[in-house]
Structure 1
């Protein structure tokens, strides 16, 4: 690989083209490394961004097309005779082919991002006799997106490329999966807006009707329990990373990406939701809403104030547990004394509890959907603004949000169980 990097510095476009082509022929070459290195060259002004993208698109398209026709011409006998040389034996072929059959041609778009799959995509598509017209469009779209992502990644990381490219690539794949889900949702809504709207309105009406019954309340408790279990699992995972000081790379990448890519000056406006007057306003609005609703006021006010007043005590308990664990064997110095971030815990506790109570008492379907989404974007915006403008570590904010979520969902479950008991007796 070092020899290829040396050649790359002398013949950038040619090596990029040949390297991507050979990787898709199933040779052991790292296409992500070449593309992100090309992005680094773009940052240095040694390569043109659009020409680099064109090289990846052409070589990726050519490579996957050649392997498609090889697979179609050779058929399954190709796997039996030569599959072992490219780590694609009959058993692995059957598993991957079954995955392709279940997912259809749309998997071709994302197969480039899956190590161990992209090398065989063309062969499997050809051997499976997938129609070429069905194969070509998603395969070429995937090649283009693959190039855009990793060349842009190298360009964005710039001087930090050598330190971050491997880890950032992992986070980028997670981001791409999330982006793909959002894009699919957007286009589905764009083309099936009426049907989706009618479906969700009907679903929400049925859910709201069923929530009025005891059985529905029990289902609601099960959902809260599952969410709480998921958040506790995430909390324990973060605790393990904290105790073993494994947040360093995450913090470096997150801070660099926020300062270089994500943060924009207008995001400073999110900090308006952080002062005491903003928190007092949402609490006051919730108090008024509960009073107007007039049902189970005492229970609702307890659900509002117990999490808010108890969050500092919960935070202090977590800190004490970490210090105790340090005394009993975790002797290294923790990377931060502020994990989990108290401010993050307070933000998610107050906004999460208030929004939960506002939605819980709303009969309007659009409020049930829009308020949680707005709250989520608000908390994300607050996290980005704090990382960009203050000294708080990304891992501390993430910890604050996760530990705060555990705290409020524990209270939601506790008080909803109490509500169920009161309604029965």
Structure 2
């Protein structure tokens, strides 16, 4: 979908489209939702969208998406994984290793995983699969949603108020954010590798 068509849908249907897009962005195919949220902020600044309903719809869409994915992982995911695991090379040993790895990091993964495309789609399913306590998941998902949606929304609003931001430039925000995240992960990996090499020499 082009940015022009997306903008037209947002202006025509408002909060309904915002909710649907953020919902499917969490439960569906990974996409640069950061660009969408930034665009919403720009349109709010240009008085083309109402601020409060738009912000609520964005946060609600992401949060309900998290709940839906958690429920899918909790009630459907494991039986399905058990049936298809042998066809995709996921043995019991590999699953147990992945499960233990997620359990060690699941709180911060659910809370901050929103900032990592792909992880934000996987983390609620894994939370359900590993039987993460529901109220713990809900609490972290609420805070995670707010910490993810509001900065991009505010950034779009502030820039939209300060400058004439062409909505067609919104996708660049997602690209920039992906590059920044990839750079951060690369630096982290290099530092971790250097630390392991230093330990092995001592």
Q: Structure 1-normalised TM-score? A: 0.36
Output one character per residue of 1:90-129: Cα deviation in whole Å (capped at 9) or x when no partner: 4897776444212231321111110111111211111111
What is the aligned partner in structure 1 of residue 154 from structure 2? 152
**Aligned-partner SS, 1:32:** helix
Q: How does 1:50-69 map to 2 (within 5 A)?
A: 50-69=52-71
With over 3 angstroms needed to count, the CA separation of the structure-2 counterparts of 1:68 and 1:97, relative to structure 1, is same
What is the aligned partner in structure 1 of residue 135 from structure 2? 133
Deviation for aligned residue 1:172: 7.6
Output the aligned Cα RMSD.
3.3
Which has the higher Rg, Structure 1 or Structure 2? 1
Q: How does 1:381-420 map to 2 (within 5 A)?
A: none
The 2-side partners of 1:48 and 1:168 are apart by 27
The 1-side partners of 2:42 and 2:84 are apart by 37
The 2-side partners of 1:78 and 1:38 are apart by 37
2:174 matches 1:166: yes
The 1-side partners of 2:104 and 2:57 are apart by 32
**2:32–2:174 CA contact under 8 A, matched in 1:** no
Structure 1, unpaired ranges of 5+: 175-225, 227-425
What is the aligned partner in structure 2 of residue 115 from structure 1? 117
Structure 2, unpaired ranges of 5+: 183-193, 195-202
| Aligned length in residues | 173
Q: Structure 2-normalised TM-score? A: 0.71
With over 3 angstroms needed to count, the CA separation of the structure-2 counterparts of 1:156 and 1:95, relative to structure 1, is farther
**2:77–2:129 CA contact under 8 A, matched in 1:** yes
Higher RCO (C-alpha under 8 Å, 6+ residues apart): 2
What is the aligned partner in structure 2 of residue 6 from structure 1? 8
Q: How does 1:264-283 map to 2 (within 5 A)?
A: none
**Aligned-partner SS, 1:112:** helix
With over 3 angstroms needed to count, the CA separation of the structure-2 counterparts of 1:129 and 1:89, relative to structure 1, is farther
Deviation for aligned residue 1:144: 1.2
**2:10–2:17 CA contact under 8 A, matched in 1:** yes
